[in-house]
Amino acid sequence: MGTLTISSDGQLFDPALVDMQIETNLTIEGYVRPNSTSIQYNTQIPVYIRAVSVAKNKVIKSAIIVGNHLTLGKNPGNVLGGTDNLYVYLILVNEPTIANYFVPGTVYRLTDSSNVGTFELEATDSGGNTPPADIPISVNGDPPAPDAPFIGSGAGDTPDIPYEGDFDFNHYFDFSIVTNPASFILGDALAGIRPTIATLQLQVFNAQINEEYGVQIDFSSRNPLGFTLHLDGDLSKHGIPYRMFLGNDEIYNNELNIWRDLLTQSSNVASAQKNVTVLISAVDMVDAAPEGVYQDTVTVIIIPLDTL
């Protein structure tokens, strides 16, 4: 979430976060995998903040931020140990009970209801006084104050929370929509002709020759109940359910599907294309539909198989 860098002349006694006014019910939102076959947007993922203190490239303390006071060193006294800086990493932590719950490559964000709160930073003098005197510390060059925000209050100050996963590889994927017609003929979809609504292209760059690559791909309608065209794209208005196909395989709303067999035999780029087509079987919903334009917005999520 952020880093506190506390600079001194080699001596820093008993630094602490004090007078903290911190929200204890913090949540983030973003795409997650509730199970191995589906993906969904979760708007209430519980998290808490952990402070990790590092001096001389060693972790000297790691603790959950609770209450209104937290010492940043493991033991009383000078925490710097011959260096000039103490780094305190403020980390948002979630402890999911589901393996691979978070999706690598996804950017999460704090929910609007999560007010992280404020803190004051202070240390003590060298310890010669009894009791030692508290010394407020300036934050971001501002005068010491009891209400420095964990997150700035200006527009755009709420940080994105990228999740990269524990993966390091040279190849990378590129996904694009080659063609995307603005509309299709309803009669064709009713007659079983399966009009094409998009042509998708998936490429792997820096691919190894004769090595197979693949992804999990998820399609989700604006309607959480399933693929549905709504009058004027408004979920509260009349809807016409439809079926969607990737290549020759029918796909279902918000379920992960496998797209593999990306292979190259002569270059470092593996590439494949597939058409997305639709069918409409709900003749009764079409017959009862008021006249107008029917729309749906489909979100596509790609997860490389080698990140699982």
Same domain for 260 and 298?
yes
User: Domain containing 150: what range?
Assistant: 2-163
Of 122, 141, 163, the domain-final residue: 163
Provide the pLDDT for residue 104.
74
Q: Render pLDDT for 60-101 as a digit per residue (tens, 0 to 9).
A: 888 888 888 888 887 777 888 777 788 888 888 887 777 778
Owner of token pair 């010394």: 135
**143: three-class secondary structure by DSSP:** coil
CA atoms 27, 30, 33, 38: torsion sign: positive
Same domain for 88 and 208?
no
Give Cβ neighbours of residue 154 (< 8 Å, ≥ 6 apart).
none
Same domain for 203 and 252?
yes
Tally of domains within the chain: 2
Provide the pLDDT for residue 34.
83
Provide the pLDDT for residue 144.
63
Same domain for 158 and 301?
no
Same domain for 45 and 159?
yes
Same domain for 55 and 109?
yes
Q: Is 55's pLDDT higher than 70?
A: yes
- The DSSP secondary-structure symbol of 57 reads T
Same domain for 299 and 176?
yes
Q: Render pLDDT for 184-213 as a digit per residue (tens, 0 to 9).
A: 888 899 999 999 999 999 998 888 888 888
Q: In this predicted model, which residue has the larger pLDDT, 65 or 276?
A: 276
Provide the CATH number for the domain around residue 282: 2.60.40
Q: Is 222's pLDDT higher than 70?
A: yes
Same domain for 121 and 191?
no
- What is the chain's Cα-based Rg? 27
Please state whether 93 falls in left (phi above 0), alpha (psi between -120 and 50) or beta. beta
Same domain for 147 and 19?
yes
Same domain for 59 and 144?
yes
As a whole number, mean pLDDT of residues 217-229 equals 91
Same domain for 76 and 181?
no
Would you place residue 145 in the very low, low, confident or very high pLDDT band (cuts 50, 70, 90)? low
Give Cβ neighbours of residue 148 (< 8 Å, ≥ 6 apart).
118, 119, 120, 121, 139, 140, 142
